[in-house]
């Protein structure tokens, strides 16, 4: 041991007293080595390993599913059919559903300053413009929005205007054919996105034409065609809502928001259900807001809204 060689004293001088010089040199050398080793050992001390890290993954709470707003409208019956242009299918429910799922060039909006209490305004979700472009012959040009389309991706086009005109002047038992019989032609230009309608004489009420336009590419080929092809369903629509289900046994019609329609409609669902019928699934009542779609775009009366919901024409 170093202490055995060097001893312990009160001072360095006492420590080396009586120690031969060679021994003193040895002690000094050993002391230096010990000091150096102490420094080396202190410098080479192994650091402890880091504290173990938790491998448990942080669980994030998924966002709640979006709330679905549904409006329930009490009705008496869904009616005999769903062609809004046939007297045989005429009903308040058919008028309300058609106004929500079918496109129209113009829609009536309340205006107490007019004799009829309403005025016809262009629907900007379907048309870019609609105006009289010639007086002789009287001509109206409808410019259809490029993005306007049916729920099966087919474009809403001048052919749909032409088809409705031809049915209104050739089929028996149609609703409000006045004005259509003055049309002499419907020309399609600009890839079908302009309908140029000519008349045999000026027709001041031209804005009231081409409401509830039907998908010509579907109705003309469906069995029964215009008179009977829409007796049970509206397979393709082009308004702010689309038909989800029709249940004649329960007198229920469920329409859902059409995601292709811009701006998106509110609420998400509207259920027309016979008053007193039990629901097919649990429902949550929702309060109608000013942004909710209104139930009429027609001159016919709206269905009785049992939840005290006001039904008026949709403003463009």
pLDDT of residue 134: 97
Task: State residue 14's pLDDT score.
Answer: 44
Pairing, β 70-75 against β 269-274: parallel
DSSP string, 10-48: SSHHHHHTT--HHHHHHHHHHHHHHHHHHHHHHHTPPPP
Spell out the residues 6+ positions from residue 315 whose beta carbon is closer than 8 angstroms to its own. Answer: 109, 121, 294
**115 token code pair:** 């004799």
Where does the chain hold its CATH 3.90.76.10 domain(s)? Answer: 70-274
Q: Which CATH number fits domain 70-274: 1.20.120.1750, 1.10.1370.20, 3.10.20.310, 3.90.76.10?
A: 3.90.76.10
d(CA 139, CA 201): 9
What is residue 65's predicted lDDT score, i.e. its pLDDT? 77
Beta bridge partners of 198: 139, 185
Q: Report residue 29 as tokens.
A: 């050398």
Which residues of the chain fall below pLDDT 50?
A: 1-46, 283-316
pLDDT in tens, 62-120: 777 778 889 999 999 999 999 999 999 999 999 999 999 999 999 999 999 999 999 99
Residue 66 has a pLDDT of 75
Specify the residue for token string 């021994």: 23
> How many residues comprise the chain?
316
Of 309, 248, 252, residue with least CA distance to 275:
252
Amino acid 303: pLDDT: 37
In this predicted structure, what is the pLDDT of residue 51?
62
pLDDT tens for residues 100-112?
A: 999 999 999 999 9
**pLDDT at residue number 281:** 52
- Predicted pLDDT at 16: 41
What is the 8-class DSSP label of residue 193? T
Helices (H), 204-287: 216-219, 225-228
- The pTM score is 0.69
């Amino acid at each position: 041991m170093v202490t055995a060689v060097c001893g312990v004293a009160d001072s360095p001088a006492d420590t080396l007293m009586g120690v031969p010089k060679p021994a003193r040199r040895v002690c000094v050398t050993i002391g230096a080595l010990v000091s150096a080793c102490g420094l080396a050992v202190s410098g080479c001390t192994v650091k402890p390993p880091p504290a173990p890290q938790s491998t448990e993954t942080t669980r994030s709470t998924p966002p709640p599913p979006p709330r679905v707003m549904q409006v329930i409208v009490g009705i008496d019956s869904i009616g005999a059919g769903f062609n809004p242009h046939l007297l045989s299918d005429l009903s308040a429910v058919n008028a309300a559903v058609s106004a929500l799922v079918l496109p129209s060039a113009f829609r009536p909006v309340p205006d107490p300053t007019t004799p009829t209490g309403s005025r016809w305004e262009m629907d900007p979700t379907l048309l870019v413009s609609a105006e009289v472009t010639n007086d002789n012959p009287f001509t109206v040009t409808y410019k259809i929005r490029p993005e306007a389309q049916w729920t099966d991706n087919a474009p809403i086009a001048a052919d749909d205007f032409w088809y409705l005109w031809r049915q209104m002047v050739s089929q028996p038992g149609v609703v409000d054919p006045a004005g259509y019989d003055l049309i002499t032609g419907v020309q399609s230009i600009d890839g079908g996105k302009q309908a140029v309608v000519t008349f045999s004489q000026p027709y001041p009420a031209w804005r009231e034409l081409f409401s509830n336009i039907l998908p010509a590419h579907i109705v003309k080929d469906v069995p029964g065609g215009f008179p009977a092809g829409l007796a049970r369903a509206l397979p393709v629509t082009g308004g702010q809502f689309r038909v989800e289900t029709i249940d004649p046994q329960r007198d229920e019609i469920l329409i859902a928001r059409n995601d292709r329609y811009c701006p998106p409609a509110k609420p998400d669902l509207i259920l027309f259900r016979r008053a007193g019928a039990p629901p097919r699934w649990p429902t949550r009542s929702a309060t109608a807001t000013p942004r909710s779609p209104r139930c009429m775009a027609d001159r016919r009366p709206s269905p009785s809204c049992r939840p005290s919901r006001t039904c008026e024409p949709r403003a463009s």
